[in-house]
Amino acid sequence: MASKHPQDVRLAQTAAKASNTFASNLFRVLTEGGSSNNIFFSPMSISTALAMTFMGARGETASQMSQVLHFNILEESVLHQSFADLSALIFRADAPYTLKAANRLFGHKGLDVLANFVDDSKKYYGASMETLDFIGDGEGSRQHINSWVEKQTANRIKDLLAAGSIDALTRLVLVNAIYFKGDWAAKFQVSKTSPEKFHISATEDFDVPMMHQRGKFNFGRDDSVSSSILELPYLKNEVSMFIVLPDQVDGLVDVQKKLSQEMIDSWVTEARMRDSPTVIVSLPKFTLEQDFVLNDVLRKMGMSDPFDAGKADFSGMTGDKDLFISKVIHKAFLDVNEEGSEAAAATAVVMQAPTSCMPARTLEFKADHPFLVFICDNKTGAILFIGQLCKPEGDTIMGDSPSEKGMGSGGNVLGNTCLCPPPPPPLPCP
């Protein structure tokens, strides 16, 4: 997605706040009941994909999406410009790291999409419309979309759309893909990486390759969740990874319950409010891969009408109430090693037709039990990726198998939306 100079930094920061609030709410829903599963996703990708979809939403459908995605903290007249400004600040060609995003609309060759929707998708999200034959060649269309996503994510997100995702009722697929690769400002030495125990619980542990280094890092405490916060900046300090490490092996449950956008902001502020102490850092070398079907989670959060063929109103796309969201699919990937990190994500929206004070001493930060992790753009405060590491398996940490409830293994993919017409007629519409 080509970046342009932002019109208003304040608008970008407000869009970041909306995305971050959605991120913390989504994380809480995914971890309800004290989940001990690995979780990783890109709120930036999901918010962007659904923001594109929101351009075509009207009535109660738009109201529900606005509430759940927290678009209501932005003035409607500048909402999409706010996301455009946020992208312009984050996705820069001259950045000291690789961070890029791409959006695209894939529409059925017989779908009559309103010119305003196509033009605004291009203006605000850099999303061009590509025409495919979903009815005559659904499988070829699926492979074509997946290939586009792979290319945008340096081959990290594969098979975003599973077999059968595209059928004769599919009318529109909105896709967002995001990719990040950055070197640590202070790299870990490979020679210091050694096998150590990662404690999943009081009675269960695994051997993992543990990286080590000693240096000055931003470090904070949040006694409300009995956790330490460590900032690991990437080169030039424009993007950082934050690790939130509970004191106790089972302490992540309290973080899950209380997580909020305000709490994330306070962690960043707390870590940076004093001179950086010397910290002995121990961090696992790990990979997280996960995919989600977010339908049930978004319904639970209050977005039900967009998935209901009888109630969905996306007339801003076609002029008629002839489309509803059949699936919101997200995949994400994170690799953390001595050099730095690599992360990717993609989101697809598929639409169908119906039928505290720090002591003056060396501190130790040993991430040898479950912790929360997020990657943050330091200019805007936008959370690019967020998740939790609970169950390492050797030197690779994988998610569970995909499910309608939202957790699984896979790549990092954001923003793929498919629009379809209401329940099928006797024969597929041309």
Q: Describe the crossing of helices 115-125 and 79-90 by its angle, rounded to 10 degrees.
A: 30
Question: Which DSSP string do the residues of 169-185 spell out, in sequence order?
Answer: TEEEEEEEEEEEEEEBS
Taking alpha carbons only, the member of 121, 106, 107 closest to residue 48 is 121
N-terminal to C-terminal alpha carbon distance within the chain = 32
The rounded mean pLDDT for the chain is 89
Quick one: average pLDDT of 111-117? 94
Whole-Å CA distances, 281 to 43, 192, 231, 402 = 27, 11, 11, 33
Whether the per-residue pLDDT at 336 is higher than 80: the answer is yes
Quick one: average pLDDT of 162-178? 94
Taking alpha carbons only, the member of 169, 170, 149 closest to residue 158 is 149
Go through the domains of the chain in sequence order and give each one's CATH number. 1-424 (3.30.497.10)
Whether the per-residue pLDDT at 92 is higher than 90: the answer is no
Position 286 scores a pLDDT of: 93
Q: Could you read off the pLDDT of 308-325 as tens digits, one per residue? A: 999 999 999 999 999 999
> pLDDT higher for 94 or 314?
314
> pLDDT higher for 8 or 207?
207
Return the structure tokens found at 7.
């019109």
Least confident window among 2-16, 183-197, 340-354: 2-16
Position 36 scores a pLDDT of: 87
% of the chain exceeding 90 in pLDDT = 82
Specify which residues 90 forms β-bridges with. Answer: none
Quick one: average pLDDT of 175-190? 97
Q: Are strands 371-377 and 413-420 parallel, antiparallel or unpaired?
A: unpaired
Q: Could you read off the pLDDT of 122-141 as tens digits, one per residue? A: 999 999 999 999 999 999 99
360 pLDDT band (50/70/90 cuts)?
A: low
Position 8 scores a pLDDT of: 80
DSSP category for residue 358? P
5 pLDDT band (50/70/90 cuts)?
A: low
> pLDDT higher for 93 or 189?
189
Quick one: average pLDDT of 79-84? 96
Virtual torsion, Cα 182, 185, 191, 197, nearest 10 deg: -80
Residues 219, 215: Cα–Cα separation, whole Å: 11
Dihedrals φ, ψ of 10, to 5°? Answer: -65, -40
Position 419 scores a pLDDT of: 46
Q: What is the number of other CB atoms lying within 10 angstroms of the CB of residue 45?
A: 30
Taking alpha carbons only, the member of 326, 291, 292, 289 closest to residue 306 is 326
Please check whether residue 347 is in contact with residue 152, taking contact to mean a CB–CB distance below 8 angstroms. no
> pLDDT higher for 213 or 394?
213
Q: What is the pTM of this model?
A: 0.89
Quick one: average pLDDT of 56-69? 97
Whether the per-residue pLDDT at 399 is higher than 60: the answer is no
Please check whether residue 386 is in contact with residue 145, taking contact to mean a CB–CB distance below 8 angstroms. no
274 pLDDT band (50/70/90 cuts)?
A: confident
Taking alpha carbons only, the member of 7, 6, 90, 9 closest to residue 48 is 90
- Cα–chain center distance at 28: 14
Residues 289, 388: Cα–Cα separation, whole Å: 12
Position 144 scores a pLDDT of: 97
Position 391 scores a pLDDT of: 85
Residues 6+ apart with CB under 8 A from 63: none
